[in-house]
Amino acid sequence: MAALYCVMGDPIEHSRSPEIHRRFAAQFSIALEYRRINVQPGSLPSMVRRFAEDGGLGCNITVPLKEEAAALSDSLGDGARQAGAANTLSFGDNGRIHGDNTDGPGLLRHLRVNLGLELENASILIIGAGGAARGIIPALMGANIAKITLVNRTRKRALELARRFAPLGAIRAGNPEAETPPPADLVINASSAGLAGHPPRLPRSLAAGAHCIDLAYGKAAEAFMSWARRGGARSTHDGWGMLVEQAAESFAIWHDRHPDTRKLLNP
Ligand code: NDP
């Protein structure tokens, strides 16, 4: 019988996680069924329980449910605990749920190994303060960067995250209404504004000379990438590489084997 996994989120139809996990499974001849399940905020605990009762062994969690996923977990890995957000749930025999966060390790591996970027002493601007931002901040702070400026549509959430992560390193919440954020070496769009086709509501000059990456991929990344290119970015990237690398980390947690990501990165 095929091992059963899924990704839960809303929207979910666009998710390419099933394809990625099936291709990883094929590398090890693992029989795998991987579904997409649309889950509205508030109903994650019941949907996860039902999926586990149906024989599911684990699930990935995406927008906007990662904080809910951490809250429902019986235990958390270090990254998920620091982030207060989980994107990988594993079900134990005893019905217990363990939550991990592979977004941070996946992004780091993509930036360093696949894109060859130096992060040491980098100034980083992060746009967005949702589950994805929570997942990547602790990992970035562990990479000897200089500082992070965080801006978000709802400033209160940026202030909360800056307070939460201040013990890990230099981070402050910017106030773009009052002042332009400082120049950065790396601009990361961790907001989901691109799903509705919206570019950042920030001056394009912030992209000048910076490496710019949107965590979203495909069409959802187009508005940010065009904003960055027109602002004179040094390089622009969408979130495909991170998606593949965070999926590889999830796969390794579930199957105890690390897949080769190269074929998916360079199809
Ligand atoms: P959340 O729903 O948790 O957070 C969404 C964030 O986007 C919030 O900061 C929200 O601001 C902001 N936002 C939403 N709409 C707008 C808008 N119209 N204008 C400005 N800001 C907006 O989502 P996640 O953090 O989980 O995911 C964010 C993005 O990152 C998604 O596109 C997701 O697909 C991508 N992602 C990609 C991964 C990858 O592996 N490549 C991994 C994880 C995420 P506010 O607080 O004001 O609501």
CB 140 within 8 A of CB 105: no
Q: Which two three-digit tokens encode residue 169? A: 């390193």
Nearest atom in ligand 1 to the alpha carbon of residue 244 is: 40
Q: Whose structure tokens read 């000059």?
A: 205
Residue from 39, 192, 243 whose mutation best tests the ligand 1 pocket (most atoms within 8 A of CB): 192
Distance from residue 73's CA to the centre of ligand 1 (Å): 22
> Average of pLDDT values for 70-86?
96
| The pLDDT of residue 266 is above 90 | no
**Residue 158 CA, ligand 1 centroid: distance in Å:** 13
Measured from the Cα of 217, ligand 1's closest atom is 41
Quick one: average pLDDT of 7-31?
Answer: 97
Asked if residue 267 has pLDDT above 80, the reply is: no
Q: Kindly state the tokens that stand for 1.
A: 């019988």
Q: Could you give the CA distance from residue 208 to residue 254 in angstroms, rounded to a whole number?
A: 41
Q: Where are the beta strands (DSSP E) in the chain?
A: 3-9, 32-38, 56-61, 75-76, 88-91, 97-100, 123-127, 147-151, 171-173, 186-189, 211-214, 235-237
Query: Which entry of 66, 147, 156, 263 is annotated as an active-site residue?
Result: 66
pLDDT at 1: 87
Single out the residue of 39, 113, 59 nearest to residue 265, CA to CA: 113
DSSP type of residue 114: I
Q: 263 catalytic, yes or no? A: no
Q: What does the pLDDT average to over 38-65?
A: 97
Contact residues for 129 (Cβ-Cβ < 8 A; gap 6+): 150, 152, 154, 157, 158, 160, 161, 190
Q: How far is the CA of 32 from the centre of ligand 1 (A)?
A: 29
Per DSSP, the chain holds a count of helices (H) and strands (E) of 10, 12
* b (16+ CB within 10 A) / e for 150-173: bbbbebebbbbbbebbeeebebeb
pLDDT digits (tens, 9 = 90+) for 182-216: 999 999 999 999 989 999 999 999 999 999 999 99
pLDDT over 90 at 90, yes or no:
yes
- Angle between the N-to-C axes of helices 17-27 and 240-255, in degrees from 0 to 180, rounded to the nearest 10: 50
What mean pLDDT value characterizes the chain?
Answer: 96
**What is the longest distance spanned by two Cα atoms in the chain?**
58
> For residue 83, is pLDDT > 70?
yes
